Structure 1
Amino acid sequence: MGCNVSNKGKANLAFLIDTGEFTIAGQIIGEKLLDGDLNEKQKNDLLFQKDMMSRIEREYALTEADVLERLMPYFSDSTTIYMAKWEKEKSLEYRLINGQKRFFKNAVPNLFRLNEFAKNRKEEISEKTIDSLKSFCVSHTLQLISERTENGELVNPVECTMTYTISVKADAVPAGEIIRCWMPYPKESNARQTNVNLLSVFPEKCIVAPDSFAQRSIYCEQLAEAGLETKFSVKFRTKTYAQIYDPANMNCVVYDTASVLYQKNTSERPSQIIFSDRIKNLADEICGGEKNPVKQVSLLYDWINSNIPWASALEYSIVPNIPEYVLENWHGDCGMQTLLFLTMARYRGIPVKWQSGWMLHPGEVNLHDWCEVYYEGIGWVPLDQSFGLQESKNDKVRNFYKTSIDSYRLIVNEDFSQDLFPSKIWPRSEPVDFQRGELEWKGGNLYFGDWTYKMEVTYN
C-alpha cells in the first residue's frame, strides 16, 4: 500500500525540522521519496522540506569551536564564560541541529553590533571605524532640507547607469539543461523614479515584466555548458529623486476607512503580517492614547530605533514570521525592522506598504528595504526605518527619514511576497523580497550558494 504524505505527516516533519532533528527528518523524507505512489506535488513538498534543512544549515554554519576561535583575540580565556551570557540574551545567535549548537554564520560580527560590552572591547583592541554612509546621509539630507521646497516636492535628481550580473557556478546544472533567470528591474509607476531605459541584456532574448507586477523583473533563459559559468546580465539607466515632507506642515484628515486603499494597507498578511497579542500590546503601549497618525508613526519609529538595532539577518525563507522573530531576538536588518514597523502601524489603523530594491549611495551600493505611509489628504509618504534617527542637532535632519527619502534609491518592489513574471515553478530562494534575483531549472530551484550577483553603478 502506497504512502500518503498526510497533513499529520507534514506536521510531524515540520516539528522535527523546527526542533533541529535533521537526521531523523532526512531519513523519513528519504523513505517517503521511495514510495512509487507519490504524486508530483507530494514529491515536491518533501523535496522542499529537505531543501529547507539545507537552507537552515547554510545559515547556521559555525560550530562552537569556530565562534570561540573568532572571539578569543578579544576575550582570551574568559570567552566561554561570556558566551553563555550572550547566548541567553540572544546577542549571540544559535540553534540546536542534531543536538549540537550551530551558530548563525554572522553571529560574531552581530555580537559586536548588539552587545555594548563586546563592542567596546573590540574598539579597545581594533581601531574604531567611521560609518561613511551615516556621514554622507547627514550631509546629503542637510543640503536637501536647506533648499526651500513644497511639501512632497521631488528634488535633487540623480541619474545612474546600472549593470546587474548573475553568475551561475559551473556544473550547478547539468550541461544542456535550460537555466531560467529572473533579475531585478526598476519600477516605473513611482514618481520618484523616472526615465527608466533598458540599454542591454544578455542573453538578448528576454521578457520584461509589466510594471503592474509589484515585484518587477527581467527574465532570460540560457543553456548550461559543462565546466563553464552561466552568466546573465542587464544594463539600464534611471533618474531617481529625493522627496521631502515636513511633519509640521502635514495636515492629514480622517481616513476613509471604507476605501480599498485603506482596507488593503491596514490588513493582516499571513504569514508575515499578523496582529498577534504581542504586536497589539506593544503597539498600544508605544502609542498610548495618541490618535494623530503622524505622531503615532513617529512614536513607533522612535521605539524601533531605540530598541531594535540593525544586525545582519537570516535568510527570510527560513523565518516563518519576521516581526515575531525580531521581537523574540531584539534585532533585525532593514527588511525585518520595516516589517515590524509596518505590522504595528497597520494594527493601529495607519496604511503602510512595502518598498524595496537597492540603495545607491556612492560607495555603499547594497540591497535595501523601506516603506511608504499613507496619510489621508496628503498621499503616500516615504519612511526608512533602518536609516534611523540621524546624529544631528538639527531636528529636521535628525528625523528626516520618518517622512522623507534621499535621492539614492532603486525601486524594484512595491510589495512583498508577490508573483514573478513569468511564473516560477519551484519555490523561491527568497519568498518575501526580490532584489538579488531567482533561478531554477527543471530539476529544482537554484539557491544562493549556486550563484553570485553583482551590481555596478555609475553616476551620470
Structure 2
Amino acid sequence: MRARHIPFLMIALLISALLLSGCTSPEEISPPGGADRTLADADTAFDHARYRSAARLYGEAYRGFLADGNAAGARTALNGRMRAERMVLEFPFNLTAIQAAVNETFPDIPAARKAVWLSPGQSQQIVSDGEVLYYENTIANVYFHNPDLMHARNAKEGHTGIYDDVKDLVFAPAMPEEGPYLNPVTWEGTGTLSLPRDLLPENGTLRLWVPLPVETAVQQNVTILAVEPAVYVTVPPMTTGDIGIVYLEIPLEEITTENLTVSTRFRFTQHEQRFAIDPASIGSYNTSDPDYLQFTGSGKNIVITPDMQEKAREIVGPETNPYRQAEKIYWYIVGNLSYSLVPHLMLDTAGIPESSYFLSTGFGDCGIQSMYFSALCRSVGIPARTTGGYQLIPGVAGPHFWAEFYLPDYGWIPVDVTVAETAGWSFDATDEERHRFMAYYFGNLDPYRYVIQKDVDIPLDPDPGDVVLFSAVRQYPAAVCDTAATDLELLVTEHWTTDFQRV
C-alpha cells in the first residue's frame, strides 16, 4: 500500500523549476566587491515583502560572493534566496489566475458566492512585490469550507474518503475489558529516496536524517530490517527516543550511478486504542514533574500566549476536570473550525507559530488543528502534544498528525480532530452516525498509524547547523549539503516514497 499524499492530509512540499535552476540568469552577477551591497538590498526587499525581488537579488549576491571567493557570504545569500522563494512558492496564482480556476471548477455557482471565497479572510493570500497572490490549494479549501459542495462531489463518486474506509472499525462494539490497547496490526514499511544524480552537486557530503518508526506505548516491537547503503550510516537507527531517525553522510564524489538511492525497511506493531475513562477517578498532576512542565510549556509551534489562554478559558468555562476540559476543546474545534490545507513553508519561513495561525485565521490542516488542540490544553494546565507521521487507512494513506493529552493514572489519550471531521464530509451518513464517528476520535484511535515522532519541533541529532530546513515535522528526510546551490530539502521531498503492507 503506497502512501499517497492526498489533499486533506499533511501538505507535501513540492519542488519547482524555479528552485532547481535558480531565479536569476548567470549573467546577473554583482560587480567585484558589490555582493555585500546587493545582499543588503535583498534583505531590505525581503523585509518589505518584495519576496520575488529579494530572491532575484539574493541569487545575484550569491554569484557575486562566489566570484569573490567568499564562501560564507555565498552561503548567507543562498539561505536568503531559499527563504524568499519559500515565502511565495505555495502562492502561484494572481487574482486573474485564481478567478479562472474557480470559474472552471465551479461554473454553475453564482459569481457573488465565488467572490466571497476569494475575499480577505476567506482565502489564504500573501502580498509580494505589491501583488496579491493566492494559495495553491484554494480550490480544495473551497470544498472543505462548503459542505454542500463536498457532499455533492462525494455523492458523485459514491464514496467519502477516510470516513467510509474506517467507519466499520469505529462502529464496532467497544470491549473495554481488552483495552486500552487492542486489535494489534503488524506493518512492514519501506522508505525510498531516489535522487537523479545530475540534480546533485558533483562533490561534497550529503547529510541525511531519514525518518523511522519510534517505539511508543501503542507502537511496539519496532524492528529496523535494513538501511541502505549501510556503508554511509554514520549514526545508527534511533527508535527509542522522541523521534525515529537514522543519520547518513554520503560523499557525493563516490556516487557514479544514474540515481542516488537510499532506502529503509522496518516493521512495527500498532494497536487500536479505546480508553474507558471515569472522569471522577482522575488523579492530580505533579506540577513540578519535568514532563508536566515540558508538555504544558510554550514551544515553537505549540504556543501559549495571552490570546490562546483567553480562548481556552472561553471554551472550558468553569469546568475544572481535565478530561472534561479537553473534551470541550475537542468539540469546539470539531464543531466550529473547518479543515483547510495551509502554506506550511511560508509559515515556517516567516516564523509564524502554527497554533497561533489557526487561532488568528481559522485555517488549519491535521497538524495545525492538532497543535491548536495541544496549545489550548496546555493553556489550562493539561499536558498535551502533537504526535504523528502517517496514517495508513487503506486506500487513503498519507502524511498525518494527531494529538494526545495526558491524564494521571491513564496515560496519553489520543485525539484526532481531522479524521473526526471527515464524518461531516459524508453525503449519506445520518446525524447520529456522524456524532458517533466524531465521538470515537476523542479518547480512541484506529490502528492505521505510523508514528515517527511523539511531538512537533523535535531537534535533529546531530545538529544540522545554520541551514534552511522545515522544522516542525519530519515525515520526509532532512537533507543538507554545503556544496548545493538549490533547496535540497524540497528536492528530497519530491523524490521520497513510502510503502506499507500488513503482515
User: TM-score by structure 1 length?
Assistant: 0.86
Deviation at 1:227, TM superposition (A): 8.5
In structure 2, the CA distance between the partners of 1:99 and 1:371, relative to structure 1 (3 Å rule), is same
Letter in 1 for 2:309: K
In structure 2, how many angstroms separate the alpha carbons of the residues matched to 1:454 and 1:105? 22
Letter in 2 for 1:193: Q
Alignment pair present for 1:297 and 2:340? no
Alignment pair present for 1:257 and 2:296? no
Alignment pair present for 1:311 and 2:354? no
1:54 to 70, 85, 91: 85
Query: What is the aligned partner in structure 1 of residue 265 from structure 2?
Result: 235
Alignment pair present for 1:186 and 2:218? no
In structure 2, the CA distance between the partners of 1:339 and 1:438, relative to structure 1 (3 Å rule), is same
Alignment pair present for 1:279 and 2:308? yes
Query: What is the aligned partner in structure 1 of residue 132 from structure 2?
Result: 101
Deviation at 1:116, TM superposition (A): 4.7
Letter in 2 for 1:374: Y
| Secondary structure of 2:119 counterpart | helix
Letter in 2 for 1:326: F
Query: What is the aligned partner in structure 2 of residue 373 from structure 1?
Result: 405
Query: What is the aligned partner in structure 2 of residue 210 from structure 1?
Result: 238
In structure 2, the CA distance between the partners of 1:237 and 1:21, relative to structure 1 (3 Å rule), is closer
Alignment pair present for 1:163 and 2:190? yes
Deviation at 1:226, TM superposition (A): 7.0
Letter in 2 for 1:191: A
Alignment pair present for 1:220 and 2:248? yes
User: Which deviations, in whole Å up to 9, do the C-alpha atoms of 1:69-106 show, x marking residues without a partner?
Assistant: 32223544987654542232533322222122222111
In structure 2, the CA distance between the partners of 1:167 and 1:3, relative to structure 1 (3 Å rule), is closer
Q: Which has the higher contact order (CA 8 A, sep 6+)?
A: 2
User: Which deviations, in whole Å up to 9, do the C-alpha atoms of 1:320-351 show, x marking residues without a partner?
Assistant: 21122112331211100011111111011101
1:329 to 357, 361, 378: 361
In structure 2, the CA distance between the partners of 1:129 and 1:107, relative to structure 1 (3 Å rule), is farther
In structure 2, the CA distance between the partners of 1:305 and 1:10, relative to structure 1 (3 Å rule), is farther
In structure 2, stretches of 5+ residues that fail to align are 1-32, 424-428
In structure 2, the CA distance between the partners of 1:442 and 1:251, relative to structure 1 (3 Å rule), is same
The question of whether the paired residues in 2 share the 8 Å contact of 1:307 and 1:330 is answered with no
Letter in 1 for 2:243: Q
Report the identity percentage: 21
Deviation at 1:4, TM superposition (A): 8.4
Aligned length: 450
Question: Relative to structure 2, which stretch is displaced further, 376-385 or 285-294?
Answer: 376-385
Give the alignment of 1:404-443 within 5 angstroms.
404-425=444-465, 427-443=467-483
In structure 2, the CA distance between the partners of 1:456 and 1:21, relative to structure 1 (3 Å rule), is closer
In structure 2, how many angstroms separate the alpha carbons of the residues matched to 1:232 and 1:308? 40
Deviation at 1:153, TM superposition (A): 2.6
The question of whether the paired residues in 1 share the 8 Å contact of 2:176 and 2:274 is answered with no
In structure 1, stretches of 5+ residues that fail to align are none
The question of whether the paired residues in 2 share the 8 Å contact of 1:384 and 1:405 is answered with yes
Letter in 1 for 2:128: I
The question of whether the paired residues in 1 share the 8 Å contact of 2:62 and 2:73 is answered with no
Letter in 2 for 1:140: L
C-alpha RMSD of matched pairs (Å): 3.3
Deviation at 1:163, TM superposition (A): 1.2
Letter in 1 for 2:308: I
1:27 to 45, 49, 57: 57
In structure 2, the CA distance between the partners of 1:285 and 1:10, relative to structure 1 (3 Å rule), is farther
1:197 to 223, 229, 236: 223
User: Which deviations, in whole Å up to 9, do the C-alpha atoms of 1:292-345 show, x marking residues without a partner?
Assistant: 111110111111112222222212423521122112331211100011111111
Deviation at 1:242, TM superposition (A): 1.3
Letter in 1 for 2:320: K
In structure 1, how many angstroms separate the alpha carbons of the residues matched to 2:69 and 2:298? 35
Query: What is the aligned partner in structure 1 of residue 123 from structure 2?
Result: 92
The question of whether the paired residues in 2 share the 8 Å contact of 1:62 and 1:103 is answered with yes
| Secondary structure of 2:467 counterpart | coil
In structure 1, how many angstroms separate the alpha carbons of the residues matched to 2:161 and 2:147? 21
Query: What is the aligned partner in structure 2 of residue 452 from structure 1?
Result: 495
User: Which deviations, in whole Å up to 9, do the C-alpha atoms of 1:370-404 show, x marking residues without a partner?
Assistant: 12211123222222222226567377654121112
| Secondary structure of 1:132 counterpart | coil
Question: Relative to structure 2, which stretch is displaced further, 175-184 or 301-310?
Answer: 175-184
The question of whether the paired residues in 1 share the 8 Å contact of 2:58 and 2:78 is answered with no
In structure 2, the CA distance between the partners of 1:434 and 1:262, relative to structure 1 (3 Å rule), is same
